Chains A and B, each alone.
Chain A
């Protein structure tokens, strides 16, 4: 009996030991799995290299970038590098207010710091476009759903204070600050009726705050969308009429430069301007209107041609190159033009639609023929290579 009891006890003990062993190893294995699963490859870092300088013969050449929504740091760096190599010395970049001041008075400049640091490293100056209203500064609900473009009058000062903080922080790198984008379109004006007087008021509130905080920073107003919306249209206002009215409302005294968007669509660069045509030289009409109020210079902050095969406002890739270069040459001859910025260097992700065909490089950084043509132009060289085969016959 005693022997049997000892045997049972032994078995029990050894079972317990074995169970404990299993549990221990199980825990070890779980720990190992957890450790392995928490291992992720490090994100590619974008380390600042030697400071660079832009080598160019065309100081007005500038590209609009889309860096702020880029996830990967190295892609921001690569974009700026390619722009510098092309020979553009200035970029226009959007700095959405909502990204940097998510709560009133609480700033997070991390992303802007990164972009600015890398722009500086490549020897580039920045025209900073401001807009995109944070939730806290949008109108209280009045039945209409607000958008990121809904800026009520009571938030003009808050917007101005944000722009002033931005100007102070980056004044040494800024070519200027563009206050708002295309306020003559309803959706860019938060679906309120567009109003040149209200926009002039926005400038009157924001500009003094920026000037006081960072007197060396240029303030750009306007950035109107080229459009021939008829009077009373709910969608927007003709840019020529809008400009006249915003100047009548006193906007000129709150700007150092007028920002202009002028696209060629299907017309060649030298097509004469006319109020009933949307073409590149529409900028001359805007300039003439501006000169009647104030002798301010102009910055073209968006321009270019599109080469989508089916969009009704596009041209072929070779015409796009020709018209773009012609427009730049025209711009060179205008002493009132400070910057000539082309839309757009590259998109972070493709639209899979015609807007992709405004880009100079694919999302995978493949330079498009227009990129090489602009590089040759900026370096003062003749266009180097035709990169496609002749049409088959």
Chain B
């Protein structure tokens, strides 16, 4: 009974106007706003992606087609932005210069976050970690490097894994080192029970597991990251909207499992 006169005073057009104002002023999803900004930035409707196509499974030529994890990620990001992806094949040495001179808008090329370059480029959050994995047999899983005491560790001679193994050899009581020519040899040694663990980069492990499965070999393994080597997308510093849009897209791809699907396709 009390509210009725107040409502009567408010006319319907006024109410409609208020509702419209509220709807328009309502804070929109940040990611959507960033996507719109990024789309406006890419006025041509084309996202030019610098890529080094000599590095499978991230990017390589197959029957005249550019394929790989980075290629699929670039396509997915461009699609989500509502623009077309155009890949610009470059040599590794020319990647950053091409970005700097505006010949490409982004670099998606198995690039590792490089703090020394942050004065000239902006990176997104990592979309993949190619750090070193400590791989052990499933029936005797190791959850830390320190657990290698008294066991046999296989790795590639002269690789980052070798450097890491030497570091651990100085830290903890002795373990047997088994240097091989190739990282796949280290994994083979583990599968054949000639080693108790192998230290290899993540990509090597995923590809080896895939290959073993294809060949019908069983090698149930347990793997944990020992170091991290994040792959990121690079943009120019003067395009924060694009960087933020890509960053939030990668975040949503990770949340929804899309990145895992892409990884599973190639690794």
Contact = CB atoms under 8 A, between A and B. Distances in A.
A388 B92 contact: no
Contacts of B253: none
A349 interface: yes
Given A310-B55, A310-B203, A391 B157 contact: no
Contacts of A147: 97, 100-101
Contacts of A318: 181
Nearest to B158: A368
Contacts of B98: 187
Contacts of B215: none
Instruction: Determine the main DSSP class of B at the interface with A.
Output: mixed
Interface string A304-344: 00000111110011100000000000000000000000000
B158 A191 contact: no
Interface in B100-152: 100-103, 110-112, 116, 130
Nearest to A313: B54
| Most-contacted residue by chain A among B101, B110, B185, B229 (CB, 10 A) | B101
Contact of B182 (A349, A355, A369, A391): A391
B179 interface: yes
Contact of A362 (B54, B163, B183): B163
A312 B56 contact: yes
B112 A351 contact: yes
B101 A312 contact: no
A391 B181 contact: yes
Contact of A392 (B112, B157, B162, B185): B185
| Most-contacted residue by chain B among A185, A187, A311, A354 (CB, 10 A) | A187
A100 B184 CA distance: 46
Contact of A389 (B56, B100, B110, B178): B178
A392 B181 CA distance: 11
A316 B181 contact: yes
Nearest to B56: A310
B163 A391 contact: no
A209 to B, nearest CB: 28
B29 interface: no
B54 A311 contact: yes
Given A369-B157, A391-B185, A392-B192, A309 B204 contact: yes
Most chain B beta carbons < 10 A, residue from A312, A318, A353, A364: A353
Contacts of B110: 353
A317 B92 contact: no
Interface string A370-393: 000000000000000001110111
Point out which of B60, B93, B130, B158 has the most chain A C-beta atoms below 10 A from its C-beta: B158
Interface string B167-204: 00000000000111111110011001010000000011
B196 to A, nearest CB: 13
Interface residues of A, number: 33
Contacts of A313: 54
A312 B54 contact: yes
B166 interface: yes
Interface in B18-56: 54-56
A127 B157 CA distance: 32
Contacts of B116: 349
Interface string B190-232: 0010100000000110010000000000000000000001000
Nearest to A144: B101
B229 A355 contact: no
A145 B93 CA distance: 18
For the complex, would chain A's binding face be called helix, strand, loop or mixed by DSSP majority? loop
A366 interface: yes
A352 interface: yes
A355 B112 CA distance: 13
B113 to A, nearest CB: 9
A348 to B, nearest CB: 10
B257 interface: no
A353 B112 contact: yes
A366 B110 CA distance: 25
A187 B194 CA distance: 49
A187 B189 CA distance: 44
Contacts of A311: 54-55
Contacts of A317: 157-158, 181-182
A391 B188 contact: yes
A145 B100 contact: yes
Contact of B180 (A191, A366, A388, A393): A388
A352 B194 contact: no
Contacts of A310: 55-57, 203-204, 207
A187 B97 contact: yes
Given A317-B157, A317-B158, A388-B180, A366 B163 contact: yes
A145 B179 contact: no
Interface in A188-224: 191
Contact of A391 (B94, B160, B180): B180
Nearest to B155: A388
A234 to B, nearest CB: 9
Interface in A251-307: none
Contacts of A312: 54-56, 60
A387 B157 contact: yes
Nearest to A308: B55
Given A187-B94, A368-B158, A392 B101 contact: no
The 5 nearest A-B residue pairs measured at CB: A352-B112, A368-B158, A392-B189, A187-B94, A388-B157
17 contacts: A145-B102, A147-B101, A149-B97, A309-B182, A309-B184, A310-B55, A310-B207, A312-B54, A316-B182, A317-B158, A351-B112, A353-B111, A362-B158, A368-B158, A388-B180, A389-B189, A392-B180
Given A316-B181, A389-B189, 9 more contacts: A309-B183, A317-B157, A352-B229, A353-B111, A355-B92, A369-B158, A387-B179, A388-B180, A392-B189
